[in-house]
Amino acid sequence: MTAFVAFTHPREAPSLLERPVPVPAPGELLIRVEACGLGAADFGFFQLDALPRTPLIPGFEAVGIVEGVGGGVAIPLGARVGLTPLASTCGGCSLCERGLERWCPKAQLHAWHRDGFLARHVVTTERSVVRLDAADEPSSWAPLFATGWTAFGAVRATELGRGHRLGVIGVGGLGQLVVQVARAQGLEVTAWDVDPERRSLAGDSASAQTFAADSVDALIVCTPSTQAIQQAVRAVRRGGALVLAAASPSVRFDLSLFDTVMRGVTLKPAFLGARSELDELISLVRTGAVKPVVTTITLEDVRSKFWLLRDGGFPGRLVVT
């Protein structure tokens, strides 16, 4: 038997449960999870009136060791790998052909269509994993494979060049990585967060004041807050981009159609990115230009500390080890 954490009823905190160790099918791997990132999207499942599947195991990103392989898998036993949420796509639609496979209508995502990674053992596809070095530290690498990948894709989506001014709202697990990636690419960053401990992750450029109107060339919203999104559209200069990088299955928002259209603001989503962008992010981590800040808890502590995802009070990304 092996332990896992899952939502079993709507609007109830997840429970620590047990099940038999899963068996990988052809093309799949059995992973012993060493570290799994948790964030606002995972908390969003708690707020749903109906779960997309029951039991629902959250966790979109992880690092683990290969302990079993199905037929046709080239990755060896004992390898350390990063786990991304994208388990499979159709591979033949126009989105997949354009490198936008993450939006494929037949995409299978962990923690939504398939079990997430908040477990001692999980099964995933070879397509969803990234080979790591044996020395890569699991808890600091776990946030890269959904949160970090999305952060890199969000910065790329702004289409800003070196020296332009980028605003970031929310300096949590996602926002801290957006700030680091943006600075590594030569952007001038100003970040905002209500929490002074989180603002400290952005250094001297962080502010406790909301952005003034027309103050940044582009802005990335890293919190699932309707108020933040509404404020952000006014902060972006005319003709700039507003990038929504935080996702929650329970959040809805509305914007002023007049403000958005008449000021020429382009609204863009950010979720993961191209495979080449994940490779670029890993290179930035290996050079030390990007270094995730994490707060770790144990799998047994998830139920009692689950509310940290709502209340904050910790720096960086919450990682379960």
pLDDT for 115 beyond 90 = yes
Tell me the mean pLDDT in the region 141-155: 97
Tell me the mean pLDDT in the region 183-212: 81
Burial of residue 115 (number of CB atoms within 10 Å: 0-12, 13-18, 19+):
buried
CB-based contact 90:96 (threshold 8 Å): yes
Contact partners, residue 40, CB within 8 Å, separation at least 6: 172, 223, 224, 246, 247, 248, 309
Q: What are the DSSP calls for 289-316, one per residue?
A: S----EEEE-GGGHHHHTTHHHH--S-S
Considering the chain, what percentage of its residues have pLDDT values greater than 90? 68
The CATH code that applies to domain 148-269 is 3.40.50.720
pLDDT at residue 194, as a whole number: 81
pLDDT at residue 207, as a whole number: 64
Report the range of poorest mean pLDDT among 136-145, 172-181, 186-195. Answer: 186-195
The whole-chain average pLDDT of the chain stands at 91
Tell me the mean pLDDT in the region 60-82: 95
At 215-238, the pLDDT tens digits run: 899 999 998 888 888 888 888 999
pLDDT confidence tier of residue 155, bands split at 50, 70 and 90: very high
pLDDT for 312 beyond 90 = no
At 279-310, the pLDDT tens digits run: 999 999 999 999 999 999 999 999 999 999 88
At 236-270, the pLDDT tens digits run: 999 999 999 988 777 788 888 888 888 888 989 99
Tell me the mean pLDDT in the region 82-87: 95
Rounded distance, CA 255 to CA 235, Å? 13
Tell me the mean pLDDT in the region 126-144: 95
Kindly report whether the peptide bond that precedes residue 55 is cis, defined as omega within 30 degrees of 0. yes
2-143+273-320, CATH topology level: Quinone Oxidoreductase; Chain A, domain 1 (3.90.180)
Rounded distance, CA 227 to CA 233, Å? 10
Largest CA distance in the chain: 59
pLDDT confidence tier of residue 204, bands split at 50, 70 and 90: low
pLDDT at residue 77, as a whole number: 95
Segment (H or E) for 154? helix 147-158
pLDDT confidence tier of residue 208, bands split at 50, 70 and 90: low
Tell me the mean pLDDT in the region 14-35: 95
pLDDT at residue 134, as a whole number: 94
Rounded distance, CA 71 to CA 125, Å? 11
pLDDT at residue 206, as a whole number: 65
Q: So where are the chain's domains?
A: 2-143+273-320, 148-269
Q: What are the DSSP calls for 198-233, one per residue?
A: HHGGGGGGEESSPPPTT-EEEEEE-S--HHHHHHHH
Tell me the mean pLDDT in the region 116-140: 96
Q: Is the whole model's pTM more than 0.75, yes or no?
A: yes
CA distances for 156 relative to 13, 166, 216, angstroms:
35, 12, 16
